[in-house]
Chains A and B, each alone.
Chain A
């Protein structure tokens, strides 16, 4: 069964460093998303991506964040100058027009 794949599963980084979270969406899906979940809190929308451009972004998704689809398969989230409050589970999702399927997540710990 097709699935969304995320790497790494866990990343520890020092405050102020840049991190890149990677995702391989389900092939033939056209819509890609990043969500995050701070421990004990709701899953929050960050950004959606369609046709090689951002289609919607939340207030959280400020200049610190960027997304890219560098090739036909990968979808990345870059977080510049990480802060302690960026520590969370980051989920990539994709959908083919009906329902969104989530990857297993990357646990980002900023120390």
Chain B
């Protein structure tokens, strides 16, 4: 069974600080990794994706992928109260084209 695991949180972060979120996955036969943001009662909103080892930056967000250790992380710099949401990690496996989601990490940014 291919699994994606995240700490459920909440991760409490002061405004302006860096939020660091982690995600581990169970299978090395993975292809791409996605971070989505989900506000309560809303749909997942794509933040960014990564498929190569290393870092990928997009604005205040940086995704980091380490395939050997089977984890992917998301850094949110200069956190804002509007970043308060649940962050979902999703993995696209090499076989098939479906996303498998983790349970999400709830982030609270306090002014």
Interface residues of A (CB under 8 A from B): 31, 33, 35, 41-45, 48, 50, 55-56, 58, 89, 91, 98-105
Contact = CB atoms under 8 A, between A and B. Distances in A.
State the main secondary structure of chain A at its contact with B: strand
B87 interface: no
A104 B44 CA distance: 8
A100 B46 contact: yes
B42 interface: yes
B46 A43 contact: no
A7 to B, nearest CB: 14
Contacts of A43: 44, 88, 90, 99, 101
Contact of B97 (A35, A55, A91, A104): A55
Given A43-B44, A45-B98, A56-B96, 19 more contacts: A33-B98, A33-B99, A35-B99, A42-B101, A42-B103, A43-B101, A48-B96, A48-B97, A56-B98, A89-B43, A91-B43, A91-B44, A99-B34, A99-B46, A99-B49, A100-B34, A100-B99, A102-B44, A102-B45
Contacts of A55: 97
Nearest to A43: B101
Nearest to A46: B98
Interface residues of B, number: 19
Interface of B: 34, 36, 42-46, 49, 88, 90, 96-104
A58 B99 CA distance: 11
20 contacts: A33-B98, A33-B99, A35-B99, A42-B101, A43-B88, A44-B101, A45-B98, A50-B97, A55-B97, A56-B97, A56-B98, A58-B98, A91-B44, A98-B49, A99-B49, A100-B99, A102-B36, A102-B43, A104-B42, A104-B43
